[in-house]
């Protein structure tokens, strides 16, 4: 595979959920993880643990744990809410989530998409975070916390970037965290390991080349949250290869 410019990789590594029906050798997965392990993390404690799920029965069980949360997500989003946002209308969210069984029944009558076929992804990785190794500086702060993920999610993102070097694409999903205790039991995980993500990888059926994102001036300001917008950068000029 021809080496890719870093900026190009960052601008084109979108989520891919449809894969060709091609097996991916364990050696390829090992190479991906061998590159991803150099991700930045607090104190170089590398607080991640990865389970490559290959057994068909375990894969199907993982899919069944994934689906209920997925239908709740669709139901809540369908009501115009951000699913499970820390700041939201909890009553409206509960009313919307009550429609999840209807969505599940409708999905059962159709061919399904990524969620219904999660177990068929060529590569399924479950990434755990070792709570003994996270310097979660916000651990005792009241309110929603997320700082501990800074030592795990760069590793997950590095998996997706490293996969591109192998001709693979994929997606990070956290949906199974809704059923974390059951995922732990399924994969024989000790209590100090928390589920951080599931990563599905494979050779893409198709892949986005142009991703749509908000421009810099919409999310970056100077000196304060209500400061002036940071000016947009000049248009990029493609480098000669």
Query: Of the candidates 127, 103, 108, which has an alpha carbon nearest to the alpha carbon of residue 46?
Result: 127
For residue 214, being part of any structural domain is answered with no
| Mean pLDDT, residues 2-24 taken together | 88
Of residues 168, 155, 173, the one with CA closest to residue 28? 168
3-state helix, strand, coil in the chain (%, to 5): 40, 15, 45
Dihedrals φ, ψ of 7, to 5°? -60, -40
Looking at residue 67, what is its pLDDT? 97
Q: Is residue 22 part of a domain?
A: yes
Q: Read off the pTM.
A: 0.91
Average pLDDT over residues 159-171: 96
- Residue 234's pLDDT band (cuts 50, 70, 90): confident
Flag whether 47 is in a domain. yes
Per-residue pLDDT band for 179 (boundaries 50, 70, 90) equals very high
Range of the domain at 63: 6-209
List the CATH number of the domain containing 10.
3.40.109.10
Residue 240, pLDDT > 70, answer no
Specify if 226 maps to a domain: no
Mean pLDDT of 15-44: 97
Quote the mean pLDDT of the chain.
93
Residue 59 lies in a domain: yes
In a domain? residue 220: no
19 assigned to some structural domain: yes
Cβ atoms of 180 and 65 within 8 Å: the answer is no
Classify residue 219: in a domain, yes or no: no
Please give the tally of structural domains in the chain: 1
Asked if 125 and 198 touch (Cβ cutoff 8 Å), the reply is yes
- C-alpha–C-alpha distance, residues 156 and 48, integer Å: 9
């Amino acid at each position: 595979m021809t080496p890719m410019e870093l900026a190009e990789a960052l601008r084109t590594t979108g989520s891919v959920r449809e894969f060709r029906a091609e097996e991916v050798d364990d050696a390829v997965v090992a190479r991906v993880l061998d590159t991803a392990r150099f991700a930045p993390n607090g104190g170089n404690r590398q607080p991640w643990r990865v389970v490559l799920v290959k057994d068909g029965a375990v894969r199907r069980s993982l899919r069944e744990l994934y689906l209920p949360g997925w239908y709740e997500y669709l139901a809540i989003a369908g009501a115009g809410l951000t699913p499970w946002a820390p700041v939201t209308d909890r009553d409206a969210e509960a009313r919307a989530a009550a429609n999840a069984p209807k969505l599940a029944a409708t999905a059962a009558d159709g061919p399904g998409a990524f969620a219904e076929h999660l177990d068929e992804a060529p590569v399924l990785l479950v990434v755990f975070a070792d709570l003994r190794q996270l310097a979660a500086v916000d651990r005792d702060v009241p309110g929603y916390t997320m700082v501990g993920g800074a030592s795990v999610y760069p590793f997950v993102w590095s998996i997706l970037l490293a996969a591109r070097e192998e001709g693979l694409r994929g997606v990070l999903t956290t949906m199974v965290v809704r059923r974390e205790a059951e995922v732990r039991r399924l994969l024989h995980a000790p209590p100090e390991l928390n589920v951080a993500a599931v990563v599905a990888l494979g050779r893409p059926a198709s892949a986005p080349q142009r991703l749509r994102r908000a421009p810099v001036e919409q999310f970056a300001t100077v000196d304060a949250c209500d400061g002036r917008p940071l000016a947009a950068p000049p248009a990029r000029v493609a480098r000669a290869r």
